[in-house]
Amino acid sequence: MPDPTTDVIQGTLDMLILKTLSLGPLHGFGIARRVEQVSRGVFKVNPGSLLTALQRLERAGWLDAEWRSTENSRRAKFYSLTRAGRRQLEIETAEWSRRAGAIGRLLRQEG
Per-residue pLDDT of the chain (111 residues; tens, 9 = 90+): 445 545 566 678 999 999 999 999 999 999 999 999 999 999 889 999 999 999 999 999 999 999 999 888 999 999 999 999 999 999 999 999 999 999 999 999 986
Is position 1 within any domain? no
In a domain, 13, yes or no: yes
Instruction: Report yes or no on 57 lying in a domain.
Output: yes
Residues in the chain: 111
Percent of the chain with pLDDT over 70: 90
Nearest to 63 by CA among 54, 74, 71, 75: 54
Whole-angstrom CA distances from 39 to 18, 76, 89 are: 15, 24, 18
Among residues of the chain, what percentage have pLDDT more than 90?
A: 81
Task: Say which CATH number the domain at 74 has.
Answer: 1.10.10.10
What pTM did the predictor assign?
A: 0.86
pLDDT in tens, 80-95: 999 999 999 999 999 9
Question: Does residue 103 fall inside a structural domain?
Answer: yes
What integer best gives the mean pLDDT of the chain? 91
19 in a structural domain: yes
Q: In 1-111, at which residue ranges do the beta strands (DSSP E only) sit?
A: 6-7, 26-27, 43-44, 63-69, 75-81
Per the structure, the complete domain to which residue 56 belongs is given by 6-107
Q: CA-to-CA distance for 98 and 24, rounded, in angstroms?
A: 26
Residues 17 and 79: their CA atoms lie apart, in Å, by 10
